[in-house]
Chains A and B, each alone.
Chain A
Amino acid sequence: MQGCIHCGACTAACTKGALKMESESGTVSCDESLCTHCNACIRACPARALTYNQIRRPYVSEKRLSEAYEGR
């Protein structure tokens, strides 16, 4: 994520456990399978490094995206 400073504030807003802090590296990681696109992390990011598209794209697998589009 461009602009991410890995402060970890987004992990506090994420109630699904998708975003978490890696204790050794001190970086934020995301388990996209747990992301429900609630956008709480976007609002909570102090650096404004997260945008809607970033949440949609890197955190959502192409398979899940295509499933979502087929369902519409």
Chain B
Amino acid sequence: MTVKKTFEEINEKIRKGNAVVVTAEELADIVEEKGISDATKYVDVVTTATFGPMCSTGAFLNFGHSDPPIRMEKIELDNVSAYGGLAAVDAYIGAAEPSTDRGIEYGGAHVICNLIDGKKVHLKAYSKGTDCYPRKEIDTYITKDSINEAYLYNPRNCYQNYSAAANTSDRTLYTYMGVLQPGLGNVNYSTSGELSPLLKDPYLRTIGIGTRIFLAGAEGYVAWQGTQFASGKPRGENGIPLSGACTLAVIGNLKEMSTEYIQPAIFEKYGVSMFVGIGIPIPVLDSDLLFNLSVQNKDIYTNILDYSVQRSNKPVLAQCSYEELRSGFVSIEGKKVKTSPLTSLYKSREIARVLKSWVAEKGFTLQPPVAPFPKGVTLKSLEQGRL
């Protein structure tokens, strides 16, 4: 008999405290023991997680009005420029923005984390002055408690898959994918593999606008499809895209977050980024979804790209599974090449466990998508001089 469950049935179990919740890694053993059909009956929710560097991260802040008021045009937080082309005291601070005094050693990601930790942040703002906002300059300090709103809004996080990186040139490359040694010296990869949220629900049946998630230690939401969302990328037989595909825009209250689950990242000779912890609980609606949830690293593949080719379309050197990547070595054209991750499996596992406890013990119910994401989306490129 075919097993079907609804969000509401699963939420009712969560409210009563008798939902069966497991992490995506724990599911593998259950499926091996019970098989797909019985595991579908038994498991209600599978938690997934990632803790990887995600440059497209930032926060909206509202500072409150000074007296006399100022319409902030140029804004600096600890000497990191924030975008002020909004209403008078609204700003957006991007994680990847470097400071004017310390460069990439201190950037927007550090400002965001200092705010989360309750530390004082130095605010300087400038304006030309208007009749309604006469003040031209302010120099003060803020904390997360002294300002009105502070919420993380990340335009692109949680990549569904991501191509690994290597370097066939004769010089070391310093990239957002970390240090790439010359002569195919190493391969770097950046997903949590079988724990990664969008790899476990590859067609995004349960993830859409409004999905409630774990975001940096707080409750967050999927706000929209992420930028560079590409649901039309080629997929393997198990439905999983073979390269970067779908992404999420996520939102959550910065004031409730913890720097245990969001941290600055500095990439040598590249810039500032941010490790963002995201966990998504996926309801087991039927055996198709359970099958997707049970796919393991050995059946999740990605391409290895040559970053020495300085073009947007980089050549594919090889294709490999996450099991191979995690083993420490892959084979490229007969050469044994060392692999290194950039997404912390250790932290991803911790997030999956924390989210499991939220759902199983704290009544964290699952929000069905308010609207689904579009299918078959392909990426556009930017062309020089084209109308």
Knowing A15-B185, A23-B326, A47-B263, say if A9 contacts B347 (CB, 8 Å): no
Chain A residues with CB under 8 Å of chain B are 5-9, 11-13, 15, 17, 20-21, 23, 25-27, 40, 43-44, 46-48
Give the CA-CA distance A47 to B105 in the complex, in Å: 10
Give the CA-CA distance A6 to B347 in the complex, in Å: 8
- The listed residue (A8, A15, A17, A43) touching B344 by CB distance below 8 A is A8
Q: Please, which residue of chain B has its CB at the minimum distance from the CB of A25?
A: B346
Q: Please, which residue of chain B has its CB at the minimum distance from the CB of A24?
A: B326
Knowing A8-B340, A26-B349, say if A40 contacts B179 (CB, 8 Å): yes
- SS class of chain B's interface: helix, strand, loop or mixed? strand
Give the CA-CA distance A43 to B266 in the complex, in Å: 9
* Contact B180 A46, beta carbon cutoff 8 Å: no
Cβ contacts under 8 Å, B264 to chain A: 46-48
Knowing A7-B342, A47-B263, say if A21 contacts B328 (CB, 8 Å): yes
Encode B17-59 as 1/0 by CB contact (under 8 A) with A: 0000000000000000000000000000000000111000000
Knowing A12-B178, A12-B179, A12-B181, say if A5 contacts B275 (CB, 8 Å): yes
* Contact B266 A5, beta carbon cutoff 8 Å: no
B345 within 8 A of A: yes
Give the CA-CA distance A15 to B180 in the complex, in Å: 11
6 contacting pairs across A/B (C-beta < 8 A): A7-B265, A7-B275, A21-B341, A26-B345, A43-B268, A44-B179
Cβ contacts under 8 Å, A13 to chain B: 178-179, 268
Q: Please, which residue of chain A has its CB at the minimum distance from the CB of B348?
A: A26
Give the CA-CA distance A56 to B262 in the complex, in Å: 28
